[in-house]
Amino acid sequence: MDILYLVDRLENLIANSKRMPLVNQIMIKEGDILNIVDQMRTSIPDEIKQARRIIQEKERILAQAQSDASTLLTRAREETERAMNREGLLRTAEARSHELVRQAEERARSVVVKAEEHGEQLKADADNYVAETLSNLKDHLASIEMDVSRTILSIEKGLESL
């Protein structure tokens, strides 16, 4: 379940609760609020699992990029060797070989750099998402705790006045 959906439910529960006259307090059933808090606790691991999946996808992309770069380099070397055998002109073949290897290495570096940048961005986005979600959850849980404490205090004062 989405943590933000649970936060919205909690806010709605608070907004739609009975108001106590004169004390600017609300009454909330303990079971209702504890149910939402329990759901929040169970949904946080799902959010973290999603962030882990993003990181694993980044690692998969990097591994694929390195594999592609290696394949490209191997093909370039093979092409260079075939060109040398076919043409028989060693100098021309060497020049072509060096150029193909250089191009392949350049492409490989480019692919790896792009994959690493993309992976780092995915990881940063995942880290930011997890940090923001946890921060929001902590803020909302603190707010809920304050509201519950105020409500309990108000109830205790009401009971004492009886």
Q: pLDDT, tens digit, for every residue of 29-81?
A: 989 989 988 888 887 777 778 888 888 988 898 899 899 889 988 998 888 78
Rounded to whole angstroms, what are the CA distances from 97 to 55, 87, 111, 138, 140?
Answer: 38, 12, 21, 60, 63
Within 10 angstroms of residue 39's Cβ, the number of other Cβ atoms is 15
What does the pLDDT read at residue 135? 92
Within 10 angstroms of residue 71's Cβ, the number of other Cβ atoms is 12
* List of residues 6+ apart from 2 with CB closer than 8 A: 43
Angle of CA points 89, 92, 96, to nearest 5° = 130
Per-residue pLDDT reduced to its tens digit, 2-31:
778 888 999 999 899 888 888 888 888 989
Task: Please give the Cα distance from 162 to 134 (Å, whole number).
Answer: 41
Residue 162 pLDDT greater than 80, yes or no: no
Mean pLDDT over each residue of the chain, to the nearest integer: 86
Report yes or no: 80 and 97 within 8 Å, Cβ to Cβ.
yes
Report yes or no: 135 and 3 within 8 Å, Cβ to Cβ.
no
Task: Please give the Cα distance from 59 to 48 (Å, whole number).
Answer: 17
pTM, 2 dp: 0.37
